[in-house]
Structure 1
Amino acid sequence: MAGNRNQFISAMILLGLLIMMTLDLTVAQTGVCYGRLGNSLPSPSEVVALCNQNNIRRMRIYDPHQPTLQALRGSNIEVMLGVPNTDLQNVAANQANANTWVQNNVRNYPNVRFRYIAVGNEVSPLRGDTSQYVRFVLPAMQNVYNAISAAGLGNQIRVSTAIETGVLGNAYPPADGVFRSEVTSYLTPIIRFLVDTRAPLLANIYPYFSYINNKAQIDLNYALFASDGIVVPGGIRYQNLFYAILDGLYAALEKSGGSSLEIVVSESGWPSAGGDTTTVNFARTYNTNLIQRVRNGTPRRPGRPIETYVFALFDEDQKNPEIEKHFGIFLANRQPKYPINFN
């Protein structure tokens, strides 16, 4: 009888773990990007409370802002923490610098649930504003990974970097996705590192900009997740542009030795003002549909939810150009700009 009871208890524990894993895959896929380049924004503690009130369980922050890290203590919100581009050279210079960075910003906050360290954001040899940092990204990633591992956190925190979709050359049809030749010498060693450490690639994906730059070829509803989709060469139907871009990245990864990698969408959103095709209604439609659609996989990776971070929590009026100021889903007074449900 005791043996049966123990087996029953073990079965119930296993069932509970499976349920928790399922909930994590299907419900908690969507987080938010919390930038602070705005005037009159709420305090970090108010921001954490806002996220808890709206069932937002994951957050990306772009630098180790100490008041924000303090506010996240014990919150149970999973965090993607950025190493800013301006810190890359220092962290890449030697292991001691990386150890200090990890000690000050990760190990000093044992009750913050760090999920990823994003070492650099949209660094690319194709972008003049970030090309100066290219040579520092991989050594910085390696040093941060070593520091995380030495702290015994290697199984909890993954180290990666966030790319932009401009690194794609051909991306249509998605199966033909390939990285531009100018970035392969930069990205290939990073991909190898991610494969070796079993970390995902982070990617900032914005169908808005793809649509604006190709309005003659792309239907607005397709970009907003609001169409029946299109059938691409090869006979595969794509319901939306987001899936198509993501699968283009997956195809490029597979051609570059990264077929085992997952992609985490580290930014995606739609501006509500400041440019062409920017209204509150379009932003609401995109982000509402995004939260629903990432629960499902893409045609290339079916049945696999897509971990995604909505950009952004608030409008940031200190940013330029103008369109960059209007991606927020909440107003500075913490009221939603439009109805949105993260449940």
Structure 2
Amino acid sequence: MDIPNNPPIAVAITLFVVTLFLSLCLHFTEAQIGVCNGMIGDNLPAKKDVVDLYKSNGIRAMRLYSPDLDSLQVLQGSGIKLMLDVPNEDVQSLASDQSAAMRWVKTNVVPFASTLKYVVVGNEIHPSDKQASSVLPAMQNVLIALKSKQLENKIMVSTSIDTSLIINSYPPSNGQFNNTAYITPIINFLTSNGSPLLVNIYTYFAYISNQQSISLDYALFTSNGTVVTDPNNGKNYQNLFDAMVDSVYAALAKAGAPNTSVVVSETGWPSAGGDAATVNNAGTYYGNLINHVKQGTPLKPGQTIETYLFAMFDEDKKPGPKTERNFGLFTPTKHPKYGQLNFS
């Protein structure tokens, strides 16, 4: 093609290249670090103050576990991208009734579409849970609703699992899903729609459940050198986070989805309430994690891991062990627990 003799074609090609470049820049400059905004507390700041705190700390992504209208409204125009959950208790109704999914999207997504990046259909639903058979049809119905509003290319639909669905995770390349009948159709949906698998990854819980085999340094990113070498592929691991993420990638490959990406939809370390739960350990974990995720993992070197820290605040009404109420990066009075973490 003789470009100089075809100015209109040259201009069109130039515009295409510029547009592609800008779109790639926008994609790659989206926040790699987000923070989950849990709300199980009676002493938390006002919704506007929360969004202002995100902005003032350079936190450009939020996970919200239910469609809180006040939060959704305040987020508009904030520049913060949102991961919005369909709560577990709503999954069955959205699965069984397309009109319910249409209403949910019309109410909670359409008015706030410019802010949303993901709709998360269920959090840590296990194959034995009553909602398990509803996860995939609910995802399908939500996607149909998004398509009816021409939003399917702007907002991705996924679900968030925990690592109990992964077995044989040592060494990481042996990782596989423990219930393929449950997870494979979900993975097929993600793959066909270009959506990532969302995974909640906690090195803290792995460490406290197996301190005989896992060192604190390995869990906190403070090991001085290689701790684990995977004999199957020769990959070297200096921290547990990478090993856990790569076990998910290995499981995805075995499920026929080697190119499906992983987003870490929760990770954190408690500052009180249990073994190794100290301010120093938590601050070390968060700081090292933030600095690390842009590097990728041994299986996916250089591939930034989009990661959501858990959580913005301590939640004084959260049930369970005391550690569950002490995952906050900030106190309810908006003071940082760990100095000035560089979220950007």
- Name the TM-score, length of structure 1 as normaliser: 0.92
Deviation at 1:89, TM superposition (A): 1.2
TM-superposed CA distance for 1:320, in Å, is 2.0
Q: Is contact 2:86–2:122 with CA below 8 Å preserved after alignment? A: yes
Matching residue within 63, 83, 96 for 1:93: 96
- Which of 203, 215, 228 matches 2:211? 215
Which residue of the partner structure matches residue 117 of structure 2? 115
What is the identity, as a one-letter code, of the residue corresponding to 1:115? K
Aligned-residue sequence identity (percent) comes to: 48
In the other structure, the counterpart of 1:229 is 226
The match for 2:184 is: 188
| Superposition deviation, residue 22 in structure 1 | 4.1
Q: Deviations over 1:69-115 (max 9, x none)?
A: 111111111000000000011111111110000000011224x4100
2:151 is paired with a residue of what secondary structure? coil
Tell me the equivalent position of 2:167. 169
| 2:268 maps to amino acid | G
> Is contact 1:200-1:263 (8 Å) kept?
yes
Distance in structure 2 (CA, Å) of the matches to 1:18 and 1:93:
38
- Mapped to 2, the partners of 1:160 and 1:32 lie a distance apart of 18
Q: Provide structure 2 residue ranges, at least 5 long, that are not aligned to the other structure.
A: none
Where do residues 248-267 of structure 1 align in structure 2 (5 Å cutoff)? 248-267=247-266
Superposition deviation, residue 152 in structure 1: 0.3
The 2-side partners of 1:22 and 1:84 are apart by 29
Q: What code does the residue aligned with 1:229 have?
A: T
Query: Which piece of structure 1 moves more, 243-252 or 314-323?
Result: 314-323
Find out whether 1:276 has 2:275 as its counterpart.
yes
The answer on 1:312 being equivalent to 2:311 is: yes
Aligned length: 333
Compute the displacement of 1:133 (Å).
Answer: 1.0
* CA deviation vs aligned residue, 1:291-334 (integer Å, no higher than 9, x gap): 11111111111110000000000011111221110000001111
Unpaired runs of 5+ residues, structure 1, are none
| Deviation (angstroms), 1:12 | 6.6
Deviation string, structure 1 residues 169-223 (Cα, Å, up to 9, x no partner): 110110111111xx21110110111111111000000000111111010111110
> Which residue of structure 2 aligns with residue 329 of structure 1?
329
Matched, 1:154 2:152: yes
Tell me the TM-score normalised to structure 2 length: 0.92
Q: Distance in 2 between matches of 1:248 and 1:136?
A: 26
Q: Deviation string for 1:247-304 (max 9, x for gaps)?
A: 0011011111221200100000000001110000100000111111111111111110
SS in 2 for 1:117: strand
For the 8 Å contact 2:235–2:299, the answer to whether it is kept is: no
Q: Residues 196-215 of structure 1 correspond to what in structure 2 (within 5 A)?
A: 196-215=192-211
Q: 1:304 to 1:216 in 2, by over 3 A?
A: same
Asked if 2 retains the 8 angstrom alpha-carbon contact of 1:177 and 1:248, the reply is yes
Within 2, Cα distance between the matches of 1:125 and 1:149?
Answer: 28
Q: For residues 324 and 16 of structure 1, do their structure 2 counterparts lie closer, same or farther at Cα, with a shift above 3 Å needed? A: same
Contact conserved, 2:315 with 2:325, CA < 8 A, in 1?
A: yes
Measure how far apart 1:57 and its partner are.
0.5
Tell me, yes or no, if the aligned pair for 2:125 and 2:131 is still in contact at 8 Å.
Answer: yes
- The change in CA–CA distance for 1:156 and 1:216 in structure 2 (over 3 A counts) is same
Displacement of 1:17 in angstroms is: 5.0
Q: 1:21 to 1:190 in 2, by over 3 A?
A: closer
Aligned to 2:289, the other structure's residue is in SS state helix
Aligned to 2:84: 81
Q: 1:167 to 1:105 in 2, by over 3 A?
A: same
Gap change, CA 1:97 and 1:13, over 3 Å in 2: closer
Residues 121 and 159 in structure 2, CA contact (< 8 A), matched pair in contact too: yes
Aligned with residue 53 of structure 1, among 47, 53, 56: 56
Provide the secondary structure at the position in 1 that maps to 2:198. Answer: strand
SS in 2 for 1:285: helix
Please state if 1:239 is matched with 2:238.
yes
In the alignment, which residue of structure 2 is the partner of 1:23?
29
Aligned 8 A contact 1:201 1:261 in 2: yes
Determine whether 1:102 maps to 2:105: yes
Closer, same or farther: CA 273–119 of 1 in aligned 2, 3 Å: same
SS in structure 1 at match of 2:295: coil
Contact kept? 2:174, 2:247, Cα under 8 Å: yes
CA deviation string 1:3-30 (max 9, x = no partner): 6996998577666555444433xxx200
For 2:105 and 2:12, the matched residues in 1 are separated by 42
Residues 117 and 13 of structure 1: CA distance in aligned 2, closer, same or farther (over 3 Å): closer
The Cα offsets for residues 114-134 of structure 1, whole Å up to 9 and x where unpaired, read as 0000000000025xxxx1111
Conserved 8 A contact 2:176-2:254: yes
The 2-side partners of 1:123 and 1:328 are apart by 23
Instruction: Output the CA distance in 1 between the equivalents of 2:27 and 2:307.
Output: 17
